[in-house]
Chain A
Amino acid sequence: MKARLRIFHRLILRALFREPLRTALTVFAVALGVAVVLAIELAGVAAAGSFRSSLETLAGDADLEITAIGGVPEELLGTLARLPYPLEFSPRLEGVARVEPEGASVTAVGLDLIAQRALGDAQHPSPEEIADSRAVWIGADIEPRKGGVLSLSVNDRRFEFIVRGSLPGAARERVVVMDIASAQDAFARAGRLDRIEARHPPSRPLEHWRQLILDALPPGVAVEPAGARTDENRKMLAAFRWNLRVLSYISLIVCGFLIYNTISVSVVRRRPEIGIARALGATRWDILAAFLAEAACFGAAGGLAGLALGRLLAEGAVGMQAATVDSLYVSSAPAAIELSAGAVALALLTGVAVSLLSALAPAFEASRVAPVEALTSGQREFQARVRVRRDLLAGLLLAVLAAAASQAPPIGRKPVFGYVAALLLIAASAMATPAVVTVLSRAWRKGIRLILGVEAMLAARGLAASLRRTSVLVGALSTAVAMMVAVGIMVGSFRQTVVLWLDQQLRADLYLRPAAGGAGRQAVIHPGLADALEALPGVAAVERFRSYDISYGGLPALLASGPTEIVRRFGKTRFLPGQDRHAILDQLPLGDYVIVSEPFANKHRVRPDDMIALPLDGEPREFKALGVYYDYSNERGYIVMDRGVMLKYLPDAAATSLSVYFDSGADPAVVRRAVERTSADYAVSIQSNRALRAEAMRIFDRTFAITYALEAVAVFVAVMGIAGALLALIIDRRQEMGVLRFLGAATGQIRRLVLFEAALLGLAANLIGLAQGALLSLILIFVINKQSFGWTIQFHWPVALLAGGLSLIYAATLAAALYPARVAVRLNPIEAVREQ
């Protein structure tokens, strides 16, 4: 053990301290990689963790939840309360309200404040307070304080509430609690409850009680374990979080390349020392252990630094993730970021594991250095060169495997094989890199010498000579480039697809939504407004769209209705290939028929003519799916029926949004003013076609902001690594540089030599990365996206983005070479040659 420590000290530590800059760069790269993984993990937990909030437990922990599409009729609460079982039932109504005038949204919750003691033991609202429909109790994050007036827009109406007190302890959120009577009034949901929560004694299992409750209820009412909805939301978010997590691993892969490079450099450079150590009796295992220990040091140091950095990055990431969750899934407030023991372990283990794995190959090689071999140099590089062909073959094989993996179905809604394919592709291109570099440097040598002079030729030759290390550097950078390209193409294609879809979809002139709307909670507009708008001169039609949050097949979904007649006249709903739009829309209003959106169809494997079971109006019912249409507005997926059909089962004429179509001859400005005047009494937001489109794209871009941030970090890690590696390359070739200087090379020429090397490296990495990225983007678009989210994305080259990104990376690579170039220039030629 002691001997090993000594070897570690002599062979590794000394070398590390001799080059503090390079050591620091490597550690920093690991730290960044770890930090990104940690930040995404922490932010993901915080963004999703808030589904189950103190809000859920306002009235105590429920065991079971009783729900029905369109709400539970309140009489059922009386029926349940009288059941001769030791169960407690409490009603709940929940919706989003907007604080006026600041516009922030809050969750408004209606509870039975008399029976439930939801305000804590210290507060007992008097019947007078409860009878006052304006009395509310608020979470700590909302102004004003007790006694103040709180102006809220609820659905399309505005209310002034009086704050009677604050919520106990934990409810630090933006919550407004009121009595169920006030809530029904404010949300215009008389006679309905969002859900009834039940608590049961532990004497019997939950299922026993669930069955008893089910038996007492009419069909069509669901009884589920509490938190089932929360779990559904989590499940729905799982794909989103999973993909983000995998994306965060890219930085780690880049890191791996760099560690590999660093350790390889160490091994090559310390060959004489290794030889001596071996000659003095060190075993192979001692050498292996020493180099693995070096990697572990990088990993541990990087992990520790990454821990702090990750915590910092998480602050930024949680905002980005929460915004996405909020706009795409359900409205939720992010929870606090918690640096758990698990997260700390994750950071350290990730750092060490990635480092060890990447160091395995070079460390193994070091252990195979024979004592005699130590004094001869250059042999290893020679070997590497002759392996180029074999590596290329292996790369091809890996590429074939990648292609095969991309054809496999998902596992549990997760595109596991998609990611395997991506990984195989990265490995394949890593194996092919030496061949590409060889070809490229040969071409460069032949072609460029004439134009760029002798320095360029020497640079090419230098790189080809140390092919192994060069390839690893190119591999690191090209992986980063590839990810940028792949994600860039994917997002760009997605964006273009959405833009085209919006063009087809958004045909109306104005869109009205309740001011208090928000994702995941359906605010409504009074039917009177739609009628009034329809009567205005210049208005051709008003499309009343209504959607309900439902649970389908254990996942959240949306049940919606629209007037098929207007959709047929104005809309351009596109169905999947092979489905006849006209026939489908002709049949839709005639009976129990629905159409479903593409994400819904993919999630639940629904094909045309399949039956969809929906309990409506107290009866289990079956609806025939007529077609699957393209939709990019919601990942949960829509089931859409004709408005007339829905009103038959859910007789609530209010709409969640209105689309107003103008007469073709009318003056849009005049009609818009008329619409605004008519809506003045309602708290609705009115958006023009263009504004709505802009908002949709804004949400889209916000959603992918974090993706770009992740890529930027990966590229940054790679460029840092290039700087460090070039530095090592220069130092290793100081004799060569010395000789060049000795032979009369000017300092400018030396600098150019180094810069040309970097340029060549960057070029190779960009070319390989571009090709690899284009292939990866196919996997992202057609395998990973399709399997996780179920969207059809049309392939599209985002030329500007790619050109910009690649140029930036190229410039960064060159910039990274500036410092090594300076070092090369400063080398004392006499000293360098004497060493020889």
Chain B
Amino acid sequence: MKRLALLALAALGLVAADFRPALPGYEYRFPRDHFSHPEFQTEWWYYTGNLRTPQGRRFGFELTFFRHGVARPPVRSSPWQVDDLYLAHLALSDIDKKTFHHRERINRAGPGLAAASAELSRIWNGNWHVEWRGNVQSLQAVTDAFTLRLEMVPQKPPVIHGRDGVSRKGPEPGRASHYVSFTRLAASGALELDGASYELAGLAWMDHEFFTNQLSPEQAGWDWFSVQFENGAELMLARMRRNDGSVDPFSHGTFVDRSGAARHLESKDFSLVPGATWTSPSSGAVYPIEWRIGIAPLGLELSAATPLANQELTGRGGPSLTYWEGAMDYEGTLQGKPIRGEGYLEMVGYAAPFRFGEASGP
């Protein structure tokens, strides 16, 4: 495989001077901080969730908006000037029918093509958008295969991961991100698929991260888990993998209890053991789709499994990525008592080492 270091070239030259690193002490102001931070190079808004029809048919969804800064300061002599690239990924896991739909988009801001605007309270890429009205976030995603519309209401206030406003990803200062999550969003809405319309309800999760150059070159990718327990608690774990296959000491996690109180987890606090794997027929990447999770300080033991093996988003080369992101089932014990949950798993860097804005091509 030939690695096409395309966007990275542009990015690397700009990083030091033109973008701001994520450093401790950042003061969050909401709702402003839910939207764009152009002073940081990279930013993303991740919506994932597990939803069901009244009859119990299960769907998983992912809608992600990326912003990647290219040129600073913004020139904007023409709306077509490429100051930022806006990518977006959309996936629908039709768990019962065992099918997986995914689409991607790449745009520049252009004349209203894509942006994340605090003034408009809207994050969009073409006709995929999330609009905030008060604390309700409404999502719309239209494709030729399906259309998803959801209203999402936070059940808990946003959680800021890490310590002192930063989520560390590496040893040097600035190898970090500002990372905010809505860990429990009550979601309801409708899905149009194959000419039929479905009423949907369930739980969604929203991650918002902004940073500059967060991964170090030794880091090859990550495994990210989200769990929404039936008992009202949530768990996030992010395992950073190094090029040599070892686990990075800057892997981290957050446990959010029923009340919304967050507890930061360090690498030493948890263990993640990959189990059965699934080999992607399109990219050839081998993904672990079953995991054992142990968090000793919490007395939490979990086994993770996916109801649908093929939830890989295959990129088309260039700036488009190949990764696995899908709905998960969790089961285990918390301090000896049985516990269950659902959530999402994201596995990045299995098809090729990941660099944001840099990607693998054939």
B7 touches A115 (CB 8 A): no
CA distance A675 to B361 in the complex (A): 55
Given A84-B142, A115-B106, verify A184-B127 contact (CB < 8 Å): no
- Cβ of A553 within 8 Å of any chain B Cβ, yes or no, is no
* Chain B residues within 8 Å of A83, by CB: 127
Contact of B111 among A78, A86, A203 (CB under 8 A): A78
**Cα of A181 to Cα of B317 in the assembled complex, Å:** 24
- Shortest CB–CB separation between residue B26 and chain A, in angstroms? 27
Interface residues of B in 101-137 (CB under 8 A from A): 105-108, 110-113, 124, 126-127, 129
Indicate with 1 or 0, residue by residue over B62-96, a CB within 8 angstroms of chain A CB atoms.
00000000110000001111100100000000000
Q: Does B334 touch A at the CB level, under 8 Å?
A: no
CB pair B78 A190 closer than 8 Å: yes
- The answer to whether A131 and B81 have CB atoms under 8 Å apart is yes
Q: Does A124 contact B (CB under 8 A)?
A: yes
B117 → chain A, closest Cβ, in Å? 12
Q: How far is the CB of A218 from chain B (nearest CB, A)?
A: 15
**Residue numbers in B under 8 Å from A121 (CB-CB):** 316-317
User: Are A79 and B112 also in contact (CB < 8 A) when A74-B79, A127-B82, A181-B80 are?
Assistant: yes
Contact A114 B318 (CB under 8 A): no
Among candidates B112, B195, B318, residue contacting A124 with C-beta atoms closer than 8 Å: B318
A348 at the interface (CB under 8 A from B): no
Q: Does B144 sit within 8 A of A, measured CB to CB?
A: yes
A124 and B108 within 8 A (CB): no
Closest to B359 in A: A124
**Distance to closest chain A CB from B25 (angstroms):** 31
Choice from B78, B144, B318 contacting A185 with Cβ under 8 Å: B78
Pairwise interchain contact A86-B85, C-beta atoms closer than 8 A: no
B49 sits at the interface (CB 8 A):
no
Given contacts A81-B127, A84-B142, A121-B317, A126 and B7 within 8 Å (CB-CB): yes
Q: CB of B261 within 8 A of chain A?
A: no
Per the 8 Å Cβ criterion, residues 135-191 of A in contact with B are: 179-181, 184-185, 190
A181 to B107 CA separation, bound complex (whole angstroms): 13
Q: Which residues of B contact A84 (CB under 8 A)?
A: 127, 140, 142, 147
B82–A78 CB distance below 8 A: no
A130 interfacial contact with B, CB 8 Å: yes
Question: A60 at the A/B interface (Cβ < 8 Å)?
Answer: no
Selected from A74, A86, A130, A184, the residue in CB contact (under 8 A) with B147 is A86
Is chain B's binding surface mostly helix, strand, loop or mixed?
Answer: loop
A835 close to B (CB within 8 Å) = no
State the Cβ distance, A488 to closest chain B Cβ, in Å: 55
Q: Within 8 Å CB of B7, what residues of A?
A: 126-127
B274 smallest CB distance to A (angstroms): 32
Distance in Å from the Cβ of B295 to the closest Cβ of chain A? 41
Instruction: Report which residue of A77, A126, A201 has the largest number of chain B beta carbons within 10 angstroms of its beta carbon.
Output: A126
Question: Which of A74, A78, A117, A127 is B70 in contact with, Cβ under 8 Å?
Answer: A127
From known contacts A82-B124, A112-B110, A121-B316, infer whether A128 and B144 are also in contact, taking CB-CB under 8 Å. no
Using A126-B10, A127-B7 as known contacts, say yes or no to A82 and B78 having CB atoms under 8 A apart: no
B9 at the interface (CB under 8 A from A): yes
Could you tell me which residues of chain A, from 69 to 89, have a CB within 8 Å of some CB in chain B? 74-75, 77-79, 81-86
Indicate if B193 sits at the interface (CB-CB under 8 A): no
Instruction: Tell whether B296 is near chain A: CB-to-CB under 8 Å.
Output: no
Distance in Å: Cβ of A556 to nearest Cβ of chain B:
28
Interface flag for B319 (CB, 8 Å): yes
Q: Distance in Å from the Cβ of A73 to the closest Cβ of chain B?
A: 8
* CB–CB A181/B78 < 8 A: yes
Separation of A185 and B129 alpha carbons in the complex (Å): 30
Q: Which residues of A contact B153 (CB under 8 A)?
A: none
Q: Which of A77, A82, A85, A117 has the most CB of B within 10 A?
A: A82
Please give, as numbers and ranges, the residues of chain A lying within 8 Å of B111 by CB-CB distance.
74-75, 77-78
CB-CB contacts below 8 Å: B211-251 with A: none
A130 touching B82, Cβ below 8 Å: yes
B110 touches A128 (CB 8 A): no
Q: How far is the CA of A130 from the CA of B124 in the complex (A)?
A: 22
The reply to whether the CB of B314 lies closer than 8 angstroms to some CB of chain A is no
Residues from chain B with a CB closer than 8 A to the CB of A77 are 110-113
Nearest-CB residue, chain A, relative to B126? A81
**B262 beta carbon closer than 8 Å to chain A:** no
**A78 close to B113 (CB less than 8 A):** yes
Report which of A79, A124, A181, A203 forms a contact with B319, defined as CB distance below 8 A. Answer: A124
CA distance A121 to B4 in the complex (A): 13
Closest CB-CB distance, A46 to chain B, in whole Å? Answer: 36
Name A131's contact: one of B4, B82, B129 (CB within 8 Å): B82
Q: Which residues of B sit under 8 angstroms from A112, Cβ to Cβ?
A: 80, 108, 110
A259 to B197, CA, bound (A): 73
A86 and B143 contact, Cβ closer than 8 Å, known pairs A121-B317, A126-B9? yes
Known: A82-B127, A115-B107. A181 touches B81 (CB 8 A): yes
Asked whether B16 is an interface residue with its Cβ less than 8 Å from the other chain, the reply is no
Task: Specify the chain B residue showing the minimal Cβ separation from A181.
Answer: B80
A78 to B117, CA, bound (A): 15
Q: Which residues of A contact B108 (CB under 8 A)?
A: 112, 114-115
Name the distance in Å between B151's Cβ and chain A's nearest Cβ.
15
Q: A84-B140, A86-B147, A124-B361 are in contact. Are A184 and B113 (CB under 8 A)?
A: no
Nearest B residue (CB) for A123: B318
Taken residue by residue from 45 to 70, chain B's Cβ proximity to chain A (1 for < 8 Å, 0 otherwise) reads as 00000000000000000000000001
A190 to B78, CA, bound (A): 8
- A180: nearest residue on chain B (CB-CB)? B80
Q: Smallest CB-CB separation from A190: which chain B residue?
A: B78
Query: With an 8 A cutoff between CB atoms, is B298 at the interface?
Result: no
Contact indicator B129/A82 (Cβ below 8 Å): yes
**In contact, A124 and B79 (Cβ under 8 angstroms):** no
On whether the beta carbons of A127 and B85 are closer than 8 Å, the reply is yes
Give Cα A84 to B147, complex, Å.
Answer: 9
Q: Are A115 and B113 in contact, CB atoms less than 8 angstroms apart?
A: yes
Which residue of the partner chain A has the closest CB to B10?
A128
Q: How would residues 1 to 16 of chain B score, 1 for a CB under 8 Å from any chain A CB and 0 otherwise?
A: 0001011011000000
CA distance A128 to B7 in the complex (A): 8
CB-CB contacts below 8 Å: A210-251 with B: none
How far in angstroms is the closest Cβ of chain A from B88? 11
CB distance from B18 to the nearest CB of A (A): 13
Closest residue on chain A to residue B8 by CB atoms: A126
CB distance from B74 to the nearest CB of A (A): 11
Quick one: which of B9, B80, B124 contacts A179, CB cutoff 8 A?
B80
- Nearest to A78 among chain B residues (CB) is B112
Residues on B with beta carbons closer than 8 Å to the beta carbon of A181: 78, 80-82
Which residue of the partner chain B has the closest CB to A115? B107
Partner of A127 from B10, B110, B140, B317 at Cβ < 8 Å: B10
Contact B106 A114 (CB under 8 A): yes
Q: Hey, what's the 0/1 contact readout for B140-172 against A, CB within 8 Å counting as 1?
A: 101110010000000000000000000000000
State how many angstroms separate the Cβ of B195 from the closest Cβ of chain A.
8
Question: Quick one: closest A residue to B140, CB to CB?
Answer: A84
**Inter-chain contacts of A78 with B (CB < 8 A):** 110-113
Bitwise, A808-829 to B at CB < 8 A (1) or not (0) is 0000000000000000000000
Q: What are the residues of chain B within 8 A of A75 when measuring CB–CB?
A: 111-112
Report how far A620 CA is from B242 CA in the complex, Å: 64
Evaluate contact between A128 and B70: CB separation under 8 angstroms: yes
Give Cα distance in the complex from A79 to B124, angstroms: 12
Q: Which residues of B contact A (CB under 8 A)?
A: 4, 6-7, 9-10, 70-71, 78-82, 85, 105-108, 110-113, 124, 126-127, 129, 140, 142-144, 147, 195, 316-319, 361
Extra 4 A-B pairs, beta carbons < 8 Å, given A74-B110, A83-B127, A124-B318: A78-B111, A79-B112, A126-B6, A127-B70
Task: Name 11 interchain pairs, CB-CB below 8 A, sorted by A.
Answer: A75-B111, A82-B124, A82-B126, A85-B142, A114-B82, A114-B108, A124-B4, A124-B318, A130-B82, A131-B71, A180-B80
- Across the A-B interface, give the 9 residue pairs with the lowest CB-CB distance, nearest first: A78-B112, A124-B318, A181-B80, A201-B144, A128-B10, A127-B70, A86-B144, A78-B111, A74-B111
Residues of A within 8 A of B (CB): 74-75, 77-79, 81-86, 112, 114-115, 117, 121-122, 124, 126-128, 130-131, 179-181, 184-185, 190, 201, 203
